[in-house]
Amino acid sequence: MKIWSATKLWRQLRWRIISSHLIIVIAGVTILLLATETIQILTGSAGIQARVQALAEAQTSQLVEAAATKLLTTFRQTLFISLSIAALGAIIAGLFTAILLTRLILQPLEQITRSSRRIANGHYDERIPIPNSDELAMMALNFNQMAEALEQTEQRRIALIGNVSHELRTPLTGIEGYLEAMMDGVLPSDTETYAQMYQEVRRLRRLTDDLQVLSRVEAGQIPLTIDVFDVLPVLERVTAQLKPQAMAQCLELETEISHQDLNVCADSDRTAQVLVNLIGNAIRYTPEDGCITVSVTVKQQMAQISVHDTGIGIPPDSLPYIFERFYRVDSSRSRSSGGSGIGLTISRHLAWAMGGELTAASEGPGKGSTFLFTLPLAR
């Protein structure tokens, strides 16, 4: 038990520093005592002892006085020499112990300095070993966590550049193709060709707009106007806006609302933006004669909006990734319909920023999908 508590104390930096000072003092004093004792022994026969002997053997008072003076002088000299040598020994021993202990304590700090310099130079895989002192171990752990976060940010940055250039390339290649075909006289310079080119330009514009929103939403810089409002009229407005699109694809768009009103605390425009994305996706990924149902319930102090469709569904291995930037289950299908693959990423960040959540569920391909969007209820 005692050993355990001593080890525990030694693991704390403050006790290490206190003990190291104590060790230095003890080492110094020990050397001082040992040196004084040794010098006394070495000079004993020729020094003080001989003078004491002479004093004891003195016959007259003059001889006693002379022997006493010599004894005093010899005593002073011996004390001065032994103390000087012992002090020198103690200084050297103390210095040596101090250097050793300081190195022991400073080693992890030097390691952190070296590693942070390496990270600053772009070596994001740098990690430091965990020292066995509690405070330093905590610092090393935090340092390693920071290094890992930086590494992930760097990886995301590289992936983002790759994805963005890939996404930009598709519409640009299209426009280039139309222009080349027109220059070679393969395609006529008529309204139809311009309309097709215009579609590609619009896709580019949508992508750049989405990217701008994404970067701001991910950085937590999207301005939100958080207010108490009734979510039901917002839902009705969005469904009314998207109904023609659903009807054009022979889809039924239903709402199931059992409340008179449902006040939430969020940003109404951003709420509408998320709903447009979810219902728009449901329309996009549901084949003809399918059905999309939007319902609202209350669960655990949250308003829960569910967008369910009878569409193509999502395979279980794709479900964990659909909220990631640029992830598409079937890239050719999404791309041809103009999807950038970042709508859900933006929606989830918006839901989080408003204190809500956005999740997806599907029983698999062909079995439809359900998206749950929650918002905090107004108190």
Give the nearer residue to ligand ADP in terms of CB position, either 47 or 341.
341
Question: CB of residue 307 vs ligand ADP: minimum separation in angstroms?
Answer: 7
CB of 335 to ligand ADP, least distance (A): 8
When the beta carbons of 78 and 281 are compared against ligand ADP, the nearer one is: 281
Nearer residue to ligand ADP within complex by CB, 341 or 356: 341
**Measured from the CB atom, is 267 or 309 closer to ligand ADP?**
309
| Cα–Cα distance for residue pair 314/318, rounded to 1 Å | 7
By CB under 6 A, what part of segment 231-290 binds ligand ADP?
A: 277, 281-282, 285
Sole binder of ligand ADP in the list 343, 351, 358, 373 (CB under 6 A):
343
When the beta carbons of 174 and 365 are compared against ligand ADP, the nearer one is: 365
DSSP string for 19-75:
HHHHHHHHHHHHHHHHHHHHHHHHHHTTTHHHHHHHHHH--SHHHHHHHHHHHHHHH
Both tokens of 43, joined, read 């000079």
Contacts of 377 (CB under 8 A, 6+ apart): 262, 263, 264, 265, 298, 301, 302, 303
| 368 backbone dihedrals φ, ψ, rounded to 5° | 75, 175
Report the candidate in 372, 368, 247, 251 with the shortest Cα–Cα distance to residue 311: 368
For ligand ADP, the binding residues in 3-42 under the rule CB under 6 A are: none
* Residue 233 vs residues 11, 20, 73, 251: alpha-carbon distances, Å: 62, 71, 108, 22
State how beta strands 291-299 and 252-257 pair.
parallel
Total residues binding ligand ADP (CB under 6 A): 22
Per-residue tokens: 19? 């003990």
* 369 lies in the site for ligand ADP, by CB under 6 A: yes
The nearest distance, CB 284 to ligand ADP, in angstroms, is 6
Residues sharing a CB contact under 8 Å with residue 243, sequence separation 6 or more, in sequence order: 253
- Residue 223, exposed/middle/buried by CB under 10 A (0-12, 13-18, 19+)? exposed
**Tokens describing residue 324:** 């990631």
Interactions with ligand ADP, residue window 283-342 (CB under 6 A): 285, 309, 311-312, 314, 322, 327-330, 334, 339-342
Closest to ligand ADP by CB, 78 or 277: 277
| Closer residue to ligand ADP, CB minimum distance, 94 or 311 | 311
Which residues are at the interface with ligand ADP (CB under 6 A)? 277, 281-282, 285, 309, 311-312, 314, 322, 327-330, 334, 339-345, 369
